[in-house]
Amino acid sequence: MSASAQTTPTASPTTVAQSQYCILVSTGSHYSDTDVRLDYGQNVKNAVVDLQMVHADAAISKLGNVVAALNYMSSLGWECIGLNTLPSRINQATGGYVDSQTGYLLRRAK
């Protein structure tokens, strides 16, 4: 009787280069009626203008809703692979956070 173990292939540099990443950034205290925008590296020195991402950013900023923005990006082939929330202001009366910035890390195949 013989046995073999399954192995998970490691990501090679060529595999990693076949993915594109961006962050859907939501700023505010609620999931709706909030400022939603994309960070796709557009502010990096000498960044190449990506018209598809410029249009996607304009579209989601008009939505003002995290769920609608995530659904829109999903329709373009993006998947959410992680998120992080950064608190920015504390309500002195309650001690709870009033505003925060949440980043949804998105990925899609090139």
pLDDT at 72: 97
Confidence band, pLDDT 50/70/90 cuts, at residue 24: very high
Residues 64-84 pLDDT 10s: 899 999 999 999 999 999 999
How far apart, in whole angstroms, are the C-alpha atoms of residue 96 and residue 4?
53
- Which residues of the chain form beta strands (DSSP E)? 19-28, 35-39, 79-90, 97-109
Tell me the two tokens of residue 99: 């505003």
Tell me the two tokens of residue 16: 């990693």
- Asked whether the whole model's pTM tops 0.95, one would answer no
pLDDT at 110: 86
- Could you give the residue ranges of the DSSP H alpha helices within 23-102? 51-63, 66-75
Residues 5-15 pLDDT 10s: 555 555 555 55
- Could you give the residue ranges of the DSSP H alpha helices within 43-93? 51-63, 66-75
pLDDT at 87: 74
How far apart, in whole angstroms, are the C-alpha atoms of residue 38 and residue 23?
6
Q: Where along the chain do its domains lie?
A: 18-109
